Structure 1
């Protein structure tokens, strides 16, 4: 009887040890999954990893697709690919090409030097479309403040793939200054119509706003 108990004890201990080995091995595998990043010459690893809110628990194609989708949606990189190798995810990053030179054509109201100052202020250094579109948006706002409400900006890029740089060429179609043909006022007992309006005067949106503020101030003063 004692021999049977001893045998049962040995068998039970062996089974427990086997389960412990399996459990520890499984957790060791989970904890030893690494992420390696390649090709990020200008973006730190920590910045890229911070975009991945979900940490990998195992090696799966599903998580590889999650990495690609997340980094693509950030619009910080031109191309992203992932492969699984030696118990790790290897992320290959293709960063946007750096801008070598920027050229402007057909810009009369704003000179090249003024436009390049805005380039520096916005830190436009690579071909990230978000940065380029922001630059175009800011330029349009400045032109609109001068009354150019129908202007358009397009650009082309010339790549030097060997050096991973590009030249940008902006074509600025300024259009014509928006002119107010006629202005009608109602209830203007303070100022005469001829003072308030002038047929053919060049007024921008911001000028009209200032005029509105002045008129509102005069009306308020008169009411008091």
Structure 2
């Protein structure tokens, strides 16, 4: 979980700093970095029945209407959460329905302080066509390495379905629909690529709103490294992200 990640990361960072080294946190999901830097808000535990009701509701009214509902309740959270990010929209509504308080209000209550100085870098590709090529190449490689067999093994587990958190993810959900007979192999492939491209766009939008970050706009790895080193030499820091 993201909370477990935060504790494990802090332990690893402390160990590296104690050895007089500089920790490098590279790649991964930005939500995890955000929690590491800002901490977790005191949120209520998930309610499976309530979440199931919200999933049923979205099938009736659609994702856009559910996001509009969140905007009426919690406009701050709605502005931060993309309408297509169904899991986060449902979680924000779930928090309000359980606690009677908005997600944005509860987040403000966090008193956590990250105990290190940070230099943050984000590699942003200038050439979107190259990025899209890399996304397609990556998914082809996943298929070559046995991604279909991996999902088939999950498909055969009776406790999992298309709405399970572990399945309702890019690539997994499309492959699941292919195995269920709802998509052709070509449709599964194309929809997985398209969904990944949309995710990449949302990630870049999120990164552009990120505070205290150095954007490295280069598709040449050597130039990017030189830019990062030049920035790093200006600072004295315990950690880089």
Please indicate the TM-score interval, normalised by the length of the shorter structure: under 0.3
Q: TM-score, normalised by structure 1?
A: 0.22
**Structure with the higher helix share, 1 or 2:** 2
**Structure with the higher strand share, 1 or 2:** 1
More contact order relative to length (CA 8 Å, sep ≥ 6) = 2
